[in-house]
Structure 1
Amino acid sequence: MSDDDDRLRRLLGGDETAWLVERVHRRLEQGRPLSGTVTLTQASAAQRRAVELLLGRRAGSGGSVSVSLDDVDRMLRTSGVAPEGLREAVVRLRGPVRDLAVESATRAAAWQRAFAELDALVGRRPELSGWRSWLESTGLVRRLAPAAEDARPLLDRLTAVLDRLPSPGIPIGRLASETCGDAHALDEGRPLATLALSAARALGGRLYANDGGADARRAAWAAVGVHLDDLSSLVLCLGLPGDHHTPMGRVLKAAADAGEPCVLTLRQLRRHESPLTAGLVRVCENPVVVAAAADELGPSCPPLVCTGGRPSTAVWRLLDLLSSGGAAFTYHGDFDWGGVAIASAVYERFGFRPWRFDVSAYEAAPSSAPLTGRPCATPWDPELARAMARRAVRVEEELVIPDLLADLASAM
């Protein structure tokens, strides 16, 4: 150790001046200038004597002691103990100084790169923008993958999954295998599954955070066309004609003859390979319509299928079987932006005639409930979207059930 190092340690390297060195070190890390005064409240007698030795003068009286950083810097330079001043002295005592601003900028850039693919997708999918803000505000990604280098592959896989949603119908294991190269990547409890499920909830109009157990998880995935198994994806129908020679046909026939609603599983629908012949099929959004039709019309109810909100894989499969059998569709749903989005998905895939689901029906329906959400197009009646944006009220399907039942009765 040189004489200058020994002198420096005697002046600033002891326990009594450690507080001063720490304050200067913190300023250096933060990129702040080494000027002005620092104060130690409730200074001990030993700390006061150390400051007096450092500055070569009395440090005043009272419970606190103040030190001019400019004076210390000048003394270190002129004495030759640290020719480059206070910064040099602290580096010699404590080692290299971190640049926190640079480190912060580097971390921010790394996280920006980690989110780049996902943010590009969200830019193309504005319906995910609220969910993306929720991710940022909750810090969920950083809790699941604290380092940006770990988060980037996770978020890239998440982007690949979301790029396939909503799906017309796919098992979750196959979705995981095709997007991530790992059939178990979306298994419950995995970080990717946690993020993907929150996004599925966003796409399905649900709360982003986990809001229930296994049933809620199945419903959230089903709303975007992903099924966890062949028994959890369901569709509700009434009055669909069956047959005597297939298992599902016999189920449908028994339900239709009894005038009772029928719940079909995806397993049943996948095992039924022949088209279903039903003529004109009415499609509604809410199960309460099916229940009312069964109560009012019973076995006389014409074919009616319920999407139950956003169509599940089972709903799509049933509509596919009906379409391949030559069925035509007429559709009714909630007059809100969520209902319009569901109708648009059905219209894009099969087409339909509106069933009291056009601008005249909307304007005639009484309602004062505020319309919220993101507007979307109504390609079966472009004027409907403009009327909804202008009137800004929602009309739930339950409010017009008497009219829907009258239509079903007149078709008997």
Structure 2
Amino acid sequence: MPTARAAKRAAFRLGAVVLAGALLAACGGSSDGASDSANGKVTITVDLFGSFGYKEAGLYAEYERLHPNVTIKQTDTEDEADYWRSLQTRLAGGAGLADVQGVEVGRIASVTQQQADKFEDLRKYGADALKGQFAEAKWAAATGRNGEVLGLGTDVGPEAMCYRTDLLKQAGLPTDREVLSKRWATWDGYLELGRQYKAKAPSKSAWLDSVGSLFSIMIGQEEERYYDDSGALIWETNPAIENAWNASIEASEAGLSAKLDQWSPQWNQAFSAGSFATLPCPAWMLGYIKGQAGETGKGKWDIAALPGGAGNWGGSYLAVPRAAKHKKEAYELIKWLTAPEQQSKIFAKQGNFPSATAAIAQIADATDPYFSGAPIGRIFGEAAEAAPVQVLGVHDQNVAQQITNALSEVERKGTKPDKAWENAKKGVKNIIG
């Protein structure tokens, strides 16, 4: 969102979204493109999570200039899990839904396999013609069993490692991105550098933000994670899950983590406080870092290749609920927002990596002065090209959330790893049976 998907997701709390949902319920309906008044003015409502970056990049304002009869109103929830729970409630009730709803990649299988009747088949509005615009895997993931097109892809989440050059320098570690990429070519190398950092770290600064983020980034390097390609749950016995879990436990036991739950207020404050030196970061995280660290962080951050090879964490879709009030107008908006030209603008402003193939080519040489001139087009482009095509399951995000919750118990509450793993198993069972 993503993913997230990150400045990001200068977001409102769930309460704001719930309030917006209540207000929208009063005007929700199923009419296709009904105008708000006799003069033909239309207000398109958009409900997102994290930081898609459309407002920040000026895209809403640009669209409104191009379409003087259109006004766009966005609500936003910082935490995707909160957003999804609220969305499920509103889908079940058939009211309170926005014209456009964001869907994180970890939820898209739930939409295509279980909720296709809740969302518009965008083929009705001509979406078939857009298929060649997107990476094949991105398009396929939002395609229903009967060929329905249930969302248009926004970004993908190729992974890298963001780091604070000033903090590494204070600890006597190298700051050059090419040197670091070699030093932490493996996760063992990354954890060893973390131990060296801890020995000489500035006061109140840890190596990474949380072991949950370490787990998430590592599992993003795998093709099969929580499900296999037959649709069977495999997370309890998958060696890749075990490996990422063990590395996260190792980082916790070595005291390398700042013990900050991602998206929490404390985590947000930590960006400007220098509470961690490295942050596993999918491309969409760049905008979030800029938003939280602010101008004082400019030039202090850099980006290097990810330990252990390429991976993907996050990425999202824009969908139109069947209960939306302005379906046709909503489709035209998401078609425009996900076009290559707009995806390139979002990348330039937020770092969200495009899923449109033409946009990927357009940003190949991009650099980012905020991140010390890092060649973000090359770094994330190479990661996107090498990242595995992941098997997506109905409850990917739910399983991931239970595991990261369990890791948080280990590092914040001192829960024994075996006990925390059992808690994760119980959590998954309670949610999905």
TM bucket normalised to smaller: under 0.3
Scaled by the length of structure 2, the TM-score of the pair is 0.24
Larger Rg: 1
Scaled by the length of structure 1, the TM-score of the pair is 0.25
**Bigger proportion of residues as helix:** 1
**Bigger proportion of residues as strand:** 2
